[in-house]
Amino acid sequence: MASASTPTPTPTGNERIARRFPEEVAGEGNIGLIDEICAEDVLDHSPLGEVRGRDELKAQISGIRDSFSDFSATVEDAITEGDTVAMRVTLRGTHDGTFMGIEPTGKTVEVGNMVFTRIEDDMIVERWVQPDMLGMLTQLGVVELPEA
């Protein structure tokens, strides 16, 4: 645990590369960075579907950002083991564009997201993205949870 006398470790190597995707690509909207940090045939697995290649990934991220104009992604924790970086990320945004066929609700969402990123030769080659879709759909008012 970090304290005033124990600084938070600075991300190194694979973690630095992996963090750039949620922070800069998704959060800041620097979609062109995908060309620099992702392999040409990058494979991305998520509830939105499996996409392969930089162009498909750019289109998917652009679509998310179009659906949530103030979209942000904050890396809360990251752990690196071998060629894989596991991250806990908080996603936030206001639903002001069509998302998964759901018309804009104007509602703000905040959901957790687990991301595993595999890196080879300093390039992202594969990602497994698992956002809390039930939490998101509940916050958007699309899904109503049963009473306990």
List, for residues 108-129, the tens digit of each pLDDT value: 999 999 999 999 999 999 999 9
Residue 74 contacts residue 93 (beta carbons within 8 Å): no
No. of H helices and E strands in the chain?
4, 6
Question: What's residue 5's pLDDT?
Answer: 56
Measured distance CA(120)–CA(123) in Å, rounded: 5
Sheet containing strand 72-81, edge to edge, reads 51-52, 38-45, 123-131, 108-120, 84-94, 72-81
Cα 91 to Cα 117: distance, rounded to the nearest angstrom: 17
Question: ∠36-114-71 over CA atoms, to 5°?
Answer: 65
- CB contact set of 64 (below 8 Å; sequence gap of 6+): 26, 48, 71, 99
Of 2-6, 27-31, 91-95, which range is least confident? Answer: 2-6
pTM as predicted: 0.87
- pLDDT for residue 9: 52
